[in-house]
Amino acid sequence: MTAQTFRHEVAFYEDADDYLATTIPFLREGLEAGEPALVAVGPAKTALLRGELGTDAERVRFENIEEFGRNPARIIPAWRDFVDDQERPGSGFRGIGEPVWLGRDSAEIDECQRHESLLNVAFGDGPGWALLCPYDSGALPDPVLAATLHSHPHIAGENGDGSPSPAWGENDCPDPFAGEVPARPGDAPEIRYDVAALHELRGFAARAAAEAGLSDQRAEDLIFAASELAANSVVHGGGSGCASAWRESGALLFETRDHGRIEEPLVGRVRPDPTQPKGRGLWMANQLCDLVQIRSSDAGTAVRLRVALD
């Protein structure tokens, strides 16, 4: 059945048979109705689905979420592009997305959980389409599985059956910037900056990148992202801020803090218009960095960038 509104479902599976019992009927129902489909999963799941679909796989678009969605903040823009490409009066379309895979660390999973809730904000007022999100209940921790019941209004069953999530509420859209990032090391170097010291901030980021051994391209990415965040602090965060950098778990982390507060839940997840002169900072940070964590409240805003070491 074609979705009349955005239908966001979680599907739990323990093995390949479970996985196929939910995803294949979902895809075949759409194919029979002539609905375009995008499947954003990892290579192993792509091979599994292609093998089961046979020649019908040619009618489905597959994308490797483990590449484009390494930073979870890039996933909503990818779905937005798909929706905008497919939207036609009276038409339906559907997708499968698996943002949490084995190997994700705790920071990435936390951002994935925020992403899942933001999907309801991003597409709740848009055209009708269905998004199925599989979760490996045989391998993922119970708290991760429990969190999906708060971000998905529906739980999918086998052969197209489903039920409402018992933990979902009509206004179940938590603040995506709530909480705190883990404390930075006490000996992490830091620099304070304002409009007159943005060049010093760029130099600080460049030294951190060089000391971490980033390639020239990745160093340029970090410097540009850091500069954009600092400019945001100057314009929106009270005119100044504090930055710090350190290495942790095979990555360089760079953090800015200021006295501003971010109100727009989808900031950094909406593709800027090419003609707009401002408002690109967090978007560019998401495109250039492997992870971006934003925490914001009346006490101020912290934005933490992660760039994996080469």
- Give the pLDDT confidence of 195-240 residue by residue, as tens digits: 999 999 999 999 999 999 999 999 999 999 999 999 999 988 889 9
Give the domains, in start order, of the chain with CATH numbers. Answer: 7-164 (3.40.50.300), 190-308 (3.30.565.10)
pLDDT, position 263: 92
Q: What per-residue confidence (pLDDT) applies to 1? A: 52
The residue assigned the tokens 């340029």 is 220
pLDDT number for residue 158: 66
Kindly give the parts of the chain with pLDDT less than 70.
1-3, 87-91, 158-161, 170-172, 276-279
For residue 45, the model assigns a pLDDT of 98
pLDDT given at position 125: 86
Point out which residues pair with 191 in neighbouring strands. 243
- Residues 216 and 188: their CA atoms lie apart, in Å, by 23
